[in-house]
Structure 1
Amino acid sequence: MGVISQGGSLNTAALTVPDLYVQILTPASTSLSGASTNIIGVVGTATWGPVNTPVVFGTSQERIEAFGPMQTTAFDLATPVSAAIVQGASDFVGVRVTDGTDVAASCAMLYDSTSATYPVLLSAKYSGTAGNTITADLTTGSAPGTWKLVFQMPNALPEAFDNLSASDGNASFWSDLISAVNSGQSSARGASALVVASAGTNSGAAPSAVSSQTFASGEDGNSGVTAQSLLGSDGTTRTGMYALRGQSCSIGVLSGVTDSSTWTAQISFGLAEGLYMITSGPSGESIADAVSNRVTAAVDSYALKVMLGDWLYWYDSENSLTRLVAPHGFVAGCLAMLSPELPSLNKQLYGIVGSQKAGLVSDGQTMTYSSAELTSLFENGLDVICNPAPGGAYWCVRGGFNVSSNPEIDGDEYTRVTNFIAETISNGMGIYIGLAMSPTLFSNVEATLTGFLSDLQSRGIIGTTTGSTAYSVTCSSTNNPQSRTALGYLQADISITYFGVNRKFIVNINGGADVTVSSQ
């Protein structure tokens, strides 16, 4: 009977037994799956959730469940997320930061004020004031002679731990209750997502009914948070912005951070992780101050987009008030909804009801930026949201620029397409590591890269104005001499033509009674 094996697992040059050998081969080349370009990483403060831990969410409800309700504080994580969601964004990674003084809310069940004892201490799973809204009920269980513990919290599903028996004594009951909360009762009723239980000082207390006992003393730890807190630190334990490492984000926002001294660190992180960092100047910033900050910061990179501190009026439906907020959430949401070859320039933004420059729309003010003011901004790598747009009377990002001084790479589109291609290749080409360097390997590498770039051109992400091939790939003995391959080096050289962006549209009109028009 024949021998069946996987390709590469059988040394076909050392066979001794006459037989049929069947090898199952996998395709020699692979197809590259494009990296995501719509994931926004946001760092900020919150009233609930793990600290310095990336959390994935996609909707406002999921954000509330993960980080609690929106706050009107300076570094609130929810604010730029909500502005981005209005633009259509639906893929986020959030990181909560604190100043280290955050405290989890708690309650001592059946607290005896005379002896200052209690059988169980219930603590919110996470620190923050949102934990102060948790309530605990201990009521009659479904089975005779048992108890049921119920936790409730606004915007979270109620949790019930039923049929807790006291038949084996009070100490056993409280031990079982703690185990149920921390470890769950079954595959259907897992551990609590809201509360952690620990033993108190009086396990001999008899269980009795508890009605809506509210947790208390939770603290957010937000009062001492600064821009540096959101930057965080790198290393074995990552905090702040650095907690976004390896999360496949393509856009990064440090909520409320307007300090230009952070720009260099943001650029370094953006270049290392393939993130387009979006930031803003302080509220009410003048153009002169913005230019001065840009010069003082001495930054020049395609990895950072700096918005003028002309903050925007936006209606916060969670808190039922119109707020003045930084523009970076709107920009991040806009970019997340665009194909990478498109800049934010002239794309309509939603939810804006005014700006510091223009005033509130409801007030009827129509102040906008002059060509001279826009020139001053754009020549210094700064951008702004304003109304009207080149396409009509709507709010838009007016320039679509990053802070690079190189006109070949100073557009949103360069950053986004470059990061997209680099991330895709990084994610998929590692399959060729460990293979023998041969003409077959060269051919397979070229085929994989060519196939990916061909697909990009067919989808309109890269291309030329004439429709000619917009890329070339070389991976052969031409650029891989034996002196290099003998040392284990393999090199593929790629050249790609990106689409230009129509930023200055010139229409020449030749009209007059003496003009003759010939029809084709």
Structure 2
Amino acid sequence: MPVTQQGQINTTALVVPDLYVQIVPPQTQYINGVPTNILGIVGTASWGPTNSPTVVGNLAQYAAIFGPVMARIYDMGTALAAAVMQGANNFHVVRVTDGTDTAALIAVLTNCITFTSKYTGTFGNQITVTVGPGSQSGTQKVVVAAPGLVPECFDNIGLGLTANALWVAIAAAINGGTNALRGPSQLIVASAGVGVTAPVSTATTYTLATGTDGASTITSSVLLGVDTVPRKGMYALRNTGASVAMLADASDSTSWAAQIAFGLAEGIYMILTGPSGDTISNAVTVKGTAGVDSYAAKLLFGDWVYWLDTYNNQLRLISPQGFIAGLLANLSPQNSTLNKQLQGIVGTQKTYANQQYSSAELQLLGSAGIDLITNPVPGGSYFGARFGHNTSSNPMVHGDNYTRMTNYIAYTLNGGMGGFVGKLQSPTVRQQAQDTISAFLSNLQQQGMIGDANGGAAFSVVLDKTNNPPSRVALGYMQCDVKVKYLSVIEFFLINVEGGQSVQVSKPATQFAA
């Protein structure tokens, strides 16, 4: 009486009389949408791994891995701080350097041991290593500390050891840990030399030095990186699931084409920016010269933002990218940045000069496919995005919602429908595939993410003989044609008011409850 999985036995060739039970998996399948809240940021830092996408959820986690927010251009901590203020909480960050970064280190005594920071950067210059007597007599204790991080304590090292053997034991403890609870140091690596000088009899603290960030000559090429293994810069974000990404402060228009190509390939909405203090005429000219016209990128005008950096106690002028990217990551994909309030903005270069954009200026920017942050916006006197557009000149696809919903639906289907490949194409399998897609789209409609404002159908899914002729079925093709209607973003609210003593009202006045 065998029990098997469905499809493991040939049910048309049984010989032995018996009871055969087949376990049939659920025939109704559902797919869940891919995350749309992952924000990728590429920039510099004073600590942490380089060219390695690292997941962080808040500023505390970021600081523990990459060091503090730095008051300088291209700093990814600054962009992340601005994004966090908009509610973003899922980041894949990539640290880049210009190649001149060095690790902090210090040599102890005469060729006895060298302590080197695990990562390059100036944060390593704040690491201290204290060497002194251990809790157990005849042993040594090493405490490794850095600002804002839990100290690492390696105790009872080298019982009975002296001279060089003791330094070798100390290095082994730091690099390999002392037990299951005290693993290897996450701050330094130790290299024992050949020195034989005994440690100082009292606890002595050594501070690492000469670490550098490699952030003095950052260019757009460094931020872009290379697309060969091991990938660097922006290309390290491949296959991370990021739905929005930015190269911190990368205002060089020569990088925009590469960013757009990457965004199209990965389904990522790339957030671009113009240079600080840009002019409208220059921005329009540069965008046209660069040939930027794609739904895969959003270009922000170079009216940079004044932000109170409480980490460095100063008012700084920073790129608008972090604010918009953070807002997008925190919005459901059917929504636009248009008219949404942005948090943490003290002012922009324009508003700080007590100036406002005229309708003519806004028309120039909007017609060119350039968005901006300003105050006021249609909703009131607060800072927000003025257009909610990407860089496309096609009004049918130039909304933030088109980019994000299209990527969301496409990558959800790409990630959830692959299980049908390899199955036999039958009416049952066709129906299962059609039902799976329809169920997903029905969920979107039920949640108000797609639909027709006038009550029409929100989507259609066709997978039958009309789009699968025998000539293609015989070659292994199964085609499903899907149409989805996105809800329109209200950009122009027109109210016609006729007032006067001679106005003829054809319907009773609306009665309001007392």
Q: Deviations over 1:118-152 (max 9, x none)?
A: 2x211111000000100001122223322211100
Q: Which residue of 2 aligns with 1:472?
A: 460
Aligned pairs for 1:61-460 (under 5 A) are: 61-109=60-108, 111-112=109-110, 117-118=111-112, 120-202=113-195, 204-208=196-200, 209-359=202-352, 366-460=354-448
Matched residues in 1 for 2:321 and 2:403: separation?
16
How big is the shift at 1:287?
A: 0.3
Matched residues in 1 for 2:26 and 2:171: separation?
54
- Asked if 1 retains the 8 angstrom alpha-carbon contact of 2:133 and 2:203, the reply is no
Q: Structure 1 residues 467, 148: CA separation in 2 closer, same or farther (over 3 Å shift)?
A: farther
Secondary structure, in 3 states, of the residue corresponding to 1:335?
helix
- Asked if 1 retains the 8 angstrom alpha-carbon contact of 2:132 and 2:199, the reply is no
Q: Structure 1 residues 490, 205: CA separation in 2 closer, same or farther (over 3 Å shift)?
A: farther
Amino acid at match of 2:33: G
> TM-score normalized by structure 2?
0.96
How big is the shift at 1:96?
A: 0.5
Matched residues in 2 for 1:498 and 1:408: separation?
11
Q: Deviations over 1:27-75 (max 9, x none)?
A: 2342111111111100001110111000100111111111111112221
How big is the shift at 1:245?
A: 0.3
Q: Structure 1 residues 510, 134: CA separation in 2 closer, same or farther (over 3 Å shift)?
A: same
Q: Which residue of 2 aligns with 1:44?
A: 43
- Asked if 2 retains the 8 angstrom alpha-carbon contact of 1:148 and 1:160, the reply is yes
Q: Deviations over 1:147-204 (max 9, x none)?
A: 21110001211111111123144444333322222222222211111111222232x3
How big is the shift at 1:210?
A: 4.3
How big is the shift at 1:206?
A: 2.5
Q: Structure 1 residues 12, 176: CA separation in 2 closer, same or farther (over 3 Å shift)?
A: farther
Matched residues in 2 for 1:19 and 1:293: separation?
78
- 466, 476, 493: which one aligns with 2:481: 493
How big is the shift at 1:515?
A: 2.4
Matched residues in 1 for 2:23 and 2:154: separation?
52
Matched residues in 1 for 2:481 and 2:39: separation?
30
Q: Which residue of 2 aligns with 1:362?
A: none
How big is the shift at 1:516?
A: 3.6
- Asked if 2 retains the 8 angstrom alpha-carbon contact of 1:471 and 1:496, the reply is yes
Quick check: 1:484 aligned with 2:472?
Answer: yes
- Asked if 2 retains the 8 angstrom alpha-carbon contact of 1:136 and 1:210, the reply is no
- Asked if 2 retains the 8 angstrom alpha-carbon contact of 1:181 and 1:191, the reply is yes
Amino acid at match of 2:13: A
- Asked if 2 retains the 8 angstrom alpha-carbon contact of 1:87 and 1:333, the reply is yes
Secondary structure, in 3 states, of the residue corresponding to 2:115?
strand
- Asked if 2 retains the 8 angstrom alpha-carbon contact of 1:61 and 1:155, the reply is no
- Asked if 1 retains the 8 angstrom alpha-carbon contact of 2:135 and 2:141, the reply is yes
- Asked if 2 retains the 8 angstrom alpha-carbon contact of 1:29 and 1:445, the reply is no
Moved more, 244-253 or 436-445: 436-445
- Asked if 1 retains the 8 angstrom alpha-carbon contact of 2:163 and 2:198, the reply is yes
How big is the shift at 1:500?
A: 0.8
Identity of aligned residues (%): 48
Q: Structure 1 residues 17, 391: CA separation in 2 closer, same or farther (over 3 Å shift)?
A: same
- Asked if 1 retains the 8 angstrom alpha-carbon contact of 2:158 and 2:170, the reply is no
Q: Which residue of 1 aligns with 2:16?
A: 17
Matched residues in 2 for 1:297 and 1:454: separation?
40
Provide runs of 4+ in structure 1 moved above 6 Å. Answer: none
- Asked if 2 retains the 8 angstrom alpha-carbon contact of 1:101 and 1:219, the reply is yes
Secondary structure, in 3 states, of the residue corresponding to 1:472?
strand
Matched residues in 1 for 2:193 and 2:415: separation?
50
Matched residues in 1 for 2:197 and 2:13: separation?
77
The alignment of Structure 1 onto Structure 2 pairs a total of residues equal to 507
Matched residues in 1 for 2:499 and 2:203: separation?
87
